[in-house]
Structure 1
């Protein structure tokens, strides 16, 4: 799928394309991260149980840490917005960040509830599996799946989380991100090869995303798994921002022009109705 239109991107993105950049996922990270996470969570629990801001020494004593270690950990939490420094003595207390995360999760649960009837109707209409996905940071997360495609075995969800470039739901979201966000997703996840059809070069992905924006749908044409095709489209909120995507999955042996058009029509019309519904409900 190629398209000669311009991406209208930033200079850095164009430079990467010019370099013929190829991205690969980095290796596993090492270090005593488990101990650090445990200590950070302990400090969050201590702060949550305190009615007033705690000074560094008091926080360190309650957490059973030396002041230096406590300082490094709490400053990381401050930098990430989970802890605030307040008052004359610059004591530490929890921010509202944790509440925001809970509200975000609740919002996505609400989204799944809102879209489920339409997704169920599309799955029944097509006789194929239909899924809803959202972007968490740089990871693609399947929030809902309805139905099952005959002769199609679902791909491991862990693999799909970093495979936005090789999935219809991923490309349907990726196409509408700012250039800087596209680069961040690619840099963190890589452009790993899953089949002979997977797009692994940046210029090829940029060309593909042009197609998505121009035509209003994305296709995974056996790019994540041999024998499996997916068609995806973006869902927008009342402000026009892309907040999720849906896709339908079917076996590649069905992939005639007529059947593909049939699936594309069903997916794009459902995505449009859901976007209109979210706009009306001011989700």
Structure 2
């Protein structure tokens, strides 16, 4: 059955025609904390307040935990690259790992500020739901989500579920331009989960889809994550050509006439092209 489905996907003309056509929880605060996480953060705080490396027994005393527990937590932080072990006689100190996270967070914040006005303009002009996504490791992360202005209004929060990168236009727009080894790693990490009958669930079908994306200059998801949604996405590059993020617009299938699909695809591509033309090299990568 899977082979039949795969063959139909590969040989069918519908998707190629679509690409070609469009180419012309709230809760109470103060809940329970995770003890091991709390202790690990306390260790990082203790190291950050010290002007010199600390010995293991000094860390345990400052944090108020026994030596064995402290050793396991510190060893994990060393393994993850957030703490440096300088030897038995020198002790432990912070690495630059936390600084790198802080710098990335600042870049993400600046990227959101850079993209938001243009994405809001696209959202207002089409009156459809729009979003901006980045690939963090192997995960597709939505950093801006703008609701549609007309009914039926789509809730894009579900689109941020894990392992959706292959089923969304915003994800495929980025995947299409990844080096082969990185694409293989993303697929291995995420898998190719089936969300609807239209979801791409084999690597060969995904590779063929990404070929269409590169040729068309945009990506499409046609009921692949939710059967009632159709999406169009395009990558945003900086002036060096590096891929920074993707933008996408999602519309209800009830409005997805051929003419409207073409209109939405062109609007998304134009928005991504305008952002790319203004994005300085190296700022957000």
TM-score of the superposed pair, with normalisation by structure 2: 0.80
Partner of 2:83: 83
Query: How many pairs are equivalent?
Result: 254
Of the structure 1 ranges 82-91 and 183-192, higher mean CA displacement relative to structure 2 is found in 82-91
| 1:160 and 2:143 are equivalent in the alignment | no
Give the Cα separation in 1 of the matches to 2:239 and 2:263.
28
1:164 counterpart SS class: coil
Structure 1 residues 267 and 198, CA gap change in structure 2 (3 angstroms): same
Higher relative CO (Cα under 8 Å, sequence separation at least 6) belongs to 1
Maintained 8 Å contact 1:2/1:211: no
Give runs of ≥4 in structure 1 deviating > 6 Å.
none
2:184 counterpart SS class: helix
Structure 1 residues 151 and 143, CA gap change in structure 2 (3 angstroms): same
Partner of 1:271: 272
Partner of 1:180: 181
Of the structure 1 ranges 124-133 and 86-95, higher mean CA displacement relative to structure 2 is found in 86-95
RMSD: 2.4
Partner of 1:216: 217
Give the Cα separation in 2 of the matches to 1:155 and 1:116.
16
Structure 2: runs of 5 or more not aligned: 1-8, 12-32
Residue 87 of structure 1, CA deviation: 7.3
Give the Cα separation in 1 of the matches to 2:141 and 2:282.
24
Structure 1: runs of 5 or more not aligned: 4-32
Give the Cα separation in 1 of the matches to 2:40 and 2:247.
36
Tell me the alpha carbon deviations over residues 15-71 of structure 1, each in whole angstroms, 9 at most, x when there is no partner.
xxxxxxxxxxxxxxxxxx944323222211111121210012222333334444333
Maintained 8 Å contact 1:134/1:243: yes
Partner of 1:200: 201
Partner of 2:230: 229
Residue 262 of structure 1, CA deviation: 0.9
Maintained 8 Å contact 2:170/2:246: yes
